[in-house]
Structure 1
Amino acid sequence: MGVQMNLLTYNGLLRIDMKTLQPVCDLAESYSQAGDNEWIFKLRNGVKFHNGDDFTAEDVVASINYAKTFPASTTYTGDIAAVEVLDPLTVKIITKSPTPNLPFNLAYHYNFILPKKLIESKNDFSSNPVGTGPYMLDKWNKGNKISFKVFSDYFDADRKAKVPTLQFVIIPEGSTRTMALESGEVDFVYAVALSDVLRLKNANSIKVEQIVSVENFFLYLNCLNTPYADDNLRKAVAWGINREDIVAGALNGFGTPSYSTVSMGYAESTTENGYGYDLNKAKEYIAAWGGDPAKAPLDIICSNDVKSSIATIMQAELSQIGIPVTINKMDSPSYQAAMRTTKLTSAIVSWSPANAMTYVQRFHSNRRQQTPTSYVNPALDELVVKMNSTMDDAARASIVKQLIETANEHCVFVPIYQVNYFRAHNSELKDVVCSATGYVDFSLMSWR
């Protein structure tokens, strides 16, 4: 939900349109290329931050330079060499090399724009968010609920929030969330328990939004100082799990088995060199690896009940090829902390970028946001660099497809399934827009 909160309170130079998944202007009024490595952004005039400060080019420079100080932002800021003020409402962004994905990168939340003054005063934006977004923080009872109120000076009249107050309440149990919606205690459930989807679809006063997403769930395997550095052992795992059983057993059938490291749904998507379910083939890969599978245990970390259910099914299936599995369920903060280390052996994770080019950036050894796999492949690194410097759309798409095929060939990580999102809400709410990346545009909603 962290990114969803950021979408309420912040804007970037560009944003991803939730229907088309393409970048469109936001704080930038227009943009153009002045050369392969130079981009000019004309900024909106009259924009205010929540604290009353005027938005100017100085804030853009400060924000992008600030984002570059965070290692996790490397995928989205690493290609930027410099940001320059040309005048109070114009900035130039200079990239290290031709960077066709820059518009997508600038729309990502790491590049949202903050007030320069607060950056310099070392404001803690995680607890005191101050942006230009349609909502601003009102009250925050940490661990319980957080409230936002409409920002009356929001710059975009067409996207000005219509619901005066949004209050997000943390309800960990899915069945409890469902009952809260049915009773009217809440008006919107962001994550519907899969076991309750049909029940809510049959309720007269509730509408269920079902979104076929590009979010792919994976099993990450640590390739640093573990047996899983070997391609064959990772492929044994990939061929040893029955994705249809996982979708049926852990997701009540609400999901799509995934056989490729990159989601289907992008123009460049392919299952070439992908995986299926074949125990004999899995055992052949174990033999090719040459080790004892009993000495390659997996401790799968999970951050919620669905992931734990998936891991339980995988535990039974991988036992058939001799790989012992334990399941380590932890709360979200502990899970996130574990994901920032290289000590874990495996984890169930997901990702849903707006385009395939952003997706495959993670195949580069220096560009991953997180490093649980510690996987390095010079061939993939070379392809990512080539992709990032190719401005011709058709040629770049061909490289993206080659990247996916190569990642599948080496089983960078084990795909499990693509998500179907379910959001449920009071049927009196209208104009509920949900994207294939999972986010909801709360600013467009209104009551009938």
Structure 2
Amino acid sequence: MAAKKTVLTVLTGVGLLAATACSGPSAGNGALPEPGHLTTTTAPGSSEVDRVTWALPYGEPTTLDPAKIGDYSPQTVEANLCDTLTRMNADFSLSPGLAQKVTWSDEHTLVLDLRPGVKFWDGSPMTPEDVIHSLERQRDPKTQALYGNYLAAVTSIRATGPHQVTLRTKEYDQTLPKALSTSFGAVNQKAYTEKAGPAYGTAKGGLMCTGPFKLGSWKSGNGITLERNDAYWDTKLKPKAKQVEFQFITNSNTLTSALLSGEVDGTYELPPSSAAALGKADSGAVFLGPSTQNVLLVPGNAESPAADRKLLDALSLVIDRNALIKNVFGGDATPLKSLVPPLTWRGDKAAAQFDTAYAALPDIPEPDAEKAKKLVAQARPLSRPLVAAIPAGDQRGLQALTFVQAAAKKIGVDIEIKQLQPTEMSSLFYDPSARKDLDLILTFGYVTLPDPASYVAESVTPRGIFNWTGYNHPEVTRLLDRARTSSDPAASAKAYAEAQALFTPTTPTVFLASTHERMFMNKRISGAPSSFAYMGMPWAAYLGGTEK
């Protein structure tokens, strides 16, 4: 039973990536790496700074609307603007956010006790109506929200007090309170959002949130500037940086030069080629952190010959993961055995069960071109080269796909690389028409909350937004649903483990690697988290100057 269970009391002490889980590269069997050189955060910045300039290596966001963001650039920016009901920390633990307490009063009732005194950037108070509207608009098809599935079991959302919102559900849903730490749980001002309409979150429509920074300006094609919110409700996290300017720099060479010269102070997702040049820079340092990122090779649509599992197995069998990690990722990655990296469940009460189940999966195969050729012969005949997509200007993606291309050629499979503009690449993740002429897509994905089942469900259940080939395994769907609805961590982990054993060898995906987070920061500033948790937390509020 889940009666009177205060969720944040549980989750705060159960970090997804505890500091003790920081680790270095592992052996090629995909096992959890040994503790080593990764860190979750950097030394606190002690002084105020007028401006920090930060790069967005994946280009300009298409939107900053929390309901619609699902990519590196928009989440890097938006995490500093719109506070969430629960908050992600640098070690991936959860703590109270705009909701100071989240409680299951029974298995059908989730109560959010809101923090009093919170104000939007315009000075108006945050109310239960703002929270309700922020959640309910994600059910509306007109919003085109990415995370409406989190509300699938919710039957009503109502104000039950001046600072309280209550969600009634069909059943217990262990994912729901965790999801409140992501952009799904971000609170927007109802009046502003309704007035802006479809333009909300764009350069024209703007935003109205409660975060430590407010949207100062967005000059399309040029940059985005955030201004410090001097009236921020969390006085312990009042930003030391008065402004944060984001520049859209997708070319690795340009990014390296800008970081070396000090024109740009820092970046997340630093390309390996840039890391090599910046490793001994006098201007700053490269930091490596734990991550839940995954590198996958995924068919673009069900009609493509690349959706044939035999062909994908052949590609998997001819790709040397260890060489890929060494030559493309500079050794800063771990081979991946399934859809979700092991660190996703590191802080779960049933972590040992998850680890045992992951270890029981088949070992990552050693390269075997002859066996791969036999699988190609059994697969659907190929009459043309396979078209594989990556973002234009992404040197890391290009190198990885070129590596895959060379491996495929050994077994008679030709791959043609197509480079898409960042906005095109971003849209194909959610627009089927953008994928219709693509056979393969090299994806650098990530898990944003401490719940493997919810992430996997988006790829392997019929309604999943990342299920691009129509994969449908009823038993997998049933088990993932059990994992979601069980209030017992051990039972939830058992259901997920059984589902994992089924979808791992059958879902049309080639699992390649889990990369570490790589950040560069100029020595004049410090404090930024170095873990992948930055994607879901107000990371820029931790920045400060290093001068005394």
TM-score range relative to shorter protein: over 0.9
In the TM superposition, residue 22 of structure 1 has moved relative to its aligned partner by: 2.8
Pairwise mapping of residues 267-286 of structure 1 onto structure 2 (< 5 A)? 267=351, 268-269=354-355, 270-271=358-359, 272-273=361-362, 275-276=364-365, 277-286=367-376
Superposed CA deviations along residues 68-87 of structure 1, whole A, max 9, x for unmatched, are: 22352134333332211102
SS across alignment from 1:59: helix
Superposed CA deviations along residues 277-331 of structure 1, whole A, max 9, x for unmatched, are: 3323323433444x43x33742111012221221111111112222221111011
Matched, 1:249 2:327: yes
Identity %: 22
Matched, 1:444 2:542: yes
Taking structure 1 as reference, are residues 63 and 136 closer, same or farther at Cα in structure 2, changes over 3 Å only? Answer: same
In the TM superposition, residue 394 of structure 1 has moved relative to its aligned partner by: 0.7
Matched, 1:298 2:386: yes
Q: Is the 8 A contact 1:360 1:403 kept in 2?
A: no
Q: Give the equivalent residue in structure 2 for 1:134.
A: 212
SS across alignment from 1:388: helix
Q: Give the equivalent residue in structure 2 for 1:30.
A: 101
Pairwise mapping of residues 7-406 of structure 1 onto structure 2 (< 5 A)? 7-19=79-91, 21-69=92-140, 70-123=144-197, 124-127=199-202, 128-222=206-300, 224-265=302-343, 266=345, 267=351, 268-269=354-355, 270-271=358-359, 272-273=361-362, 275-276=364-365, 277-289=367-379, 291-292=380-381, 294-295=382-383, 297-303=385-391, 304-339=394-429, 340-341=431-432, 342-343=435-436, 344-353=438-447, 354-355=449-450, 356-406=452-502
In the TM superposition, residue 100 of structure 1 has moved relative to its aligned partner by: 0.7
Taking structure 1 as reference, are residues 424 and 279 closer, same or farther at Cα in structure 2, changes over 3 Å only? Answer: same
Deviates more, 1:280-289 or 1:258-267: 280-289
> TM-score with structure 2 length normalisation?
0.77
d(CA) in 2 for partners of 1:350, 1:153 = 37
In the TM superposition, residue 397 of structure 1 has moved relative to its aligned partner by: 1.0
Q: Give the equivalent residue in structure 1 for 2:14.
A: none
d(CA) in 2 for partners of 1:180, 1:223 = 38
Q: Is the 8 A contact 1:222 1:375 kept in 2?
A: no
Superposed CA deviations along residues 377-408 of structure 1, whole A, max 9, x for unmatched, are: 22221111111111100111122222222221
Aligned letter for 1:349?
Answer: T
SS across alignment from 1:164: strand
SS across alignment from 1:213: coil
d(CA) in 1 for partners of 2:78, 2:194 = 20
Superposed CA deviations along residues 205-260 of structure 1, whole A, max 9, x for unmatched, are: 31221113220010111451233444323222222222222223322333223232
Taking structure 1 as reference, are residues 218 and 129 closer, same or farther at Cα in structure 2, changes over 3 Å only? Answer: same
Higher RCO, 1 vs 2 (CA within 8 Å, ≥6 residues apart): 2
- Structure 2 residue runs without a partner (length 5+): 1-72, 346-350
d(CA) in 2 for partners of 1:164, 1:18 = 22
d(CA) in 2 for partners of 1:279, 1:12 = 49
Aligned letter for 2:494?
Answer: S
SS across alignment from 2:110: strand
Deviates more, 1:65-74 or 1:126-135: 65-74
Q: Is the 8 A contact 2:193 2:208 kept in 1?
A: no
Aligned letter for 1:295?
Answer: S
SS across alignment from 2:514: strand
Taking structure 1 as reference, are residues 77 and 205 closer, same or farther at Cα in structure 2, changes over 3 Å only? Answer: same
SS across alignment from 2:331: coil
Deviates more, 1:46-55 or 1:199-208: 199-208
Taking structure 1 as reference, are residues 248 and 183 closer, same or farther at Cα in structure 2, changes over 3 Å only? Answer: same
SS across alignment from 1:409: coil
d(CA) in 2 for partners of 1:338, 1:349 = 11
SS across alignment from 1:8: coil
Aligned residues: 445
Taking structure 1 as reference, are residues 76 and 146 closer, same or farther at Cα in structure 2, changes over 3 Å only? Answer: same
Aligned letter for 1:17?
Answer: N
> TM-score with structure 1 length normalisation?
0.93
Q: Give the equivalent residue in structure 2 for 1:6.
A: 78
SS across alignment from 2:512: strand
d(CA) in 1 for partners of 2:491, 2:318 = 35
Aligned letter for 2:527?
Answer: D
Aligned letter for 2:200?
Answer: F
In the TM superposition, residue 15 of structure 1 has moved relative to its aligned partner by: 1.8
Taking structure 1 as reference, are residues 402 and 297 closer, same or farther at Cα in structure 2, changes over 3 Å only? Answer: farther
Aligned letter for 1:301?
Answer: A
Q: Is the 8 A contact 2:288 2:531 kept in 1?
A: no
d(CA) in 2 for partners of 1:231, 1:104 = 33
Taking structure 1 as reference, are residues 15 and 88 closer, same or farther at Cα in structure 2, changes over 3 Å only? Answer: same
Q: Is the 8 A contact 1:216 1:350 kept in 2?
A: yes
d(CA) in 2 for partners of 1:74, 1:274 = 36
Taking structure 1 as reference, are residues 255 and 432 closer, same or farther at Cα in structure 2, changes over 3 Å only? Answer: same
